[in-house]
Amino acid sequence: MEKSKKIYVLDSNVFIWAFYEDDSLHELSIQLLSEIKDSKIIVPYCVVQEVCSIFSYRFWKQKADDFLHFLLETDNIELINNDILDELNFYLSFQENLSFTDLSLILISQKYSAELLTFDKQLLKLYGWG
């Protein structure tokens, strides 16, 4: 019997730093992606939107295009649509000052029984992961 793959949901910052070579966390992001290359990676719409927006406006569109090609060409990545109604209700149930995307990632991680990977210290601290 084949062992089931571990499932991960990745925060936008993992992809941003992996594709932005001048960042101090670039190598750490590349290492992380390498370590989970045989696992299933869930990438929700909100992450794709956030990463592409940051790349297009802060850097250049080609960086966003490279990211999209990576998503489409990587076999272990599953792209999913967000469930906006569930996410709206989940967001409204929290008092903490977190972004809508961060809380959506938590909900998606729970839904897929996946581990959320992020470099966001506030998110890690709030949930006791860091």
Domains, the chain, in order of start with CATH, read 10-123 (3.40.50.1010)
Q: From CA 55, how far away is CA 37, in angstroms rounded? A: 23
Question: What confidence tier does 83 reach under pLDDT thresholds 50, 70, 90?
Answer: confident
Q: Average the pLDDT over 33-40 and give the result.
A: 94
Q: Mean pLDDT score of the chain, rounded to an integer?
A: 89
Candidates 14, 13, 57, 52; CA nearest to 36 is: 14
pLDDT score for 3: 54
**Is the pLDDT confidence value at 1 over 50?**
no
The residues, any chain, with a CB within 8 Å of residue 85's CB and separated by 6 or more, are none
